[in-house]
Amino acid sequence: MTVLEPLELLRKSNQGDKASYEKLLLWLQGHCKIQLKKGLSRYYSFPEQALDDITQEVLISFHETHQTFDETRPLLPWINAIIRHKMIDFIRRKDFVVVMTATDIEVLKGKWLIEEQEDDMSGDLYQLIERLPADQFEILKLAKIEGYSSKEIARELNLSDSNVKVIIHRAVKMLKKLSF
């Protein structure tokens, strides 16, 4: 299926064509599983059932919101954002043990879902993050890569919520300085 075909199926289904909607959901189910396998299996140890669970959540979310989509915009980035957010929600629920690797920086950049954008910055960015002070590195990793809230981090590290937010802000500011 070409990139434009799902958008055309969406247009037809929004006009009441049930056959187009069924084709669109079948395509979405396959696309979702491919994207989740690429993202989750490379970075995390997760139960196989998780793939089906997240796919179901994506399909439900799509079903509830597809009529609000602006059909003049590209469909794939919107779909990929839904998939990414549902995957992050799943990770935050801590339904499985997260195993972090050196390539997790791609998750931070959101790059794993969009193959077309080749950027060899990930190695440089990871080197920059490693140059952060230990407390900033740890808190930034917990917040931006592992997806913990500032309140969860504060509770775990015996810090105030505002202190965690300040450290995250300073870490991001430091990364900006280091990158130039």
pLDDT, residue 137, reads: 84
Taking the C-alpha atoms of residue 107 and residue 111, their distance in angstroms, rounded to an integer, is 6
- pTM value is 0.51
How many other CB atoms are found less than 10 A from the CB of residue 85? 13
pLDDT, residue 42, reads: 57
For the segment 53-78, what is each residue's pLDDT rounded down to a tens digit?
889 999 999 989 888 888 888 888 88
Taking the C-alpha atoms of residue 174 and residue 101, their distance in angstroms, rounded to an integer, is 23
How many other CB atoms are found less than 10 A from the CB of residue 52? 14
Q: How far is CA 130 from CA 45, 112, 123, 146, 164, in A?
A: 23, 20, 11, 16, 18
- What's the whole-number average pLDDT of the chain? 76
pLDDT, residue 22, reads: 92
Taking the C-alpha atoms of residue 90 and residue 95, their distance in angstroms, rounded to an integer, is 7
Tokens of 159: 């810090």
pLDDT, residue 43, reads: 53
Taking the C-alpha atoms of residue 136 and residue 164, their distance in angstroms, rounded to an integer, is 9
Give the closest residue to 33 by CA, choosing from 3, 13, 57, 11. 57
pLDDT, residue 119, reads: 40
The answer to whether 176 touches 169, Cβ cutoff 8 Å, is: no
State yes or no: pLDDT of 99 exceeds 80.
no
Q: Percentage of the chain surpassing pLDDT 70? A: 72
State yes or no: pLDDT of 105 exceeds 80.
no
The answer to whether 120 touches 74, Cβ cutoff 8 Å, is: no
pLDDT, residue 111, reads: 45
